[in-house]
Amino acid sequence: KAGVTQTPRYLIKTRGQQVTLSCSPISGHRSVSWYQQTPGQGLQFLFEYFSETQRNKGNFPGRFSGRQFSNSRSEMNVSTLELGDSALYLCASSFHGDRVYEQYFGPGTRLTVT
């Protein structure tokens, strides 16, 4: 079974631009979560989607948004990019209904804002 895939793997953007990152979960997984990883703040939860609905949201400004499609694929968008948005963005999928909630992570998208 294929793992979680994220595209693109690397991205360079300029301050003020916007960016869209994509995540395809493991087949059969309906829950997708997004995390931001930076050297200073570590791993921080952005949001979680299930059945096209945002179920949980972390403490990030409104410039960060996401959505989930009917095939469980998810996208996250960051508008008006700031230098501090440079990070590794990780997506994780899990099988809803599994009480253990094992989350499987993709390789991440490395975003650099200049």
Partner 1 sequence: GEDVEQSLFLSVREGDSSVINCTYTDSSSTYLYWYKQEPGAGLQLLTYIFSNMDMKQDQRLTVLLNKKDKHLSLRIADTQTGDSAIYFCAERGGSGNTGKLIFGQGTTLQVKP
Binding site for partner 1 (CB under 8 A): 4, 31, 33, 35, 42-43, 45, 48, 50, 55-56, 58, 90, 92, 94, 96, 99-108
- CA 56 – CA 68 distance, rounded (Å): 13
Whole-number Å distance between alpha carbons of 5 and 82: 25
Least Å distance, CB 77 to partner 1, is 20
The residue among 3 and 79 lying less far from partner 1, judged by its C-beta, is 3
**Distance of closest approach, residue 73 Cβ to partner 1, in angstroms:** 16
Measured from the CB atom, is 41 or 71 closer to partner 1? 41
Residue whose CB is less far from partner 1, 35 or 64: 35
Q: Where are the beta strands (DSSP E) in 17-108?
A: 19-24, 31-38, 42-50, 53-57, 64-68, 74-78, 87-94, 104-105
The backbone torsions φ and ψ at residue 102, rounded to the nearest 5 degrees and listed phi first, read -65, 120
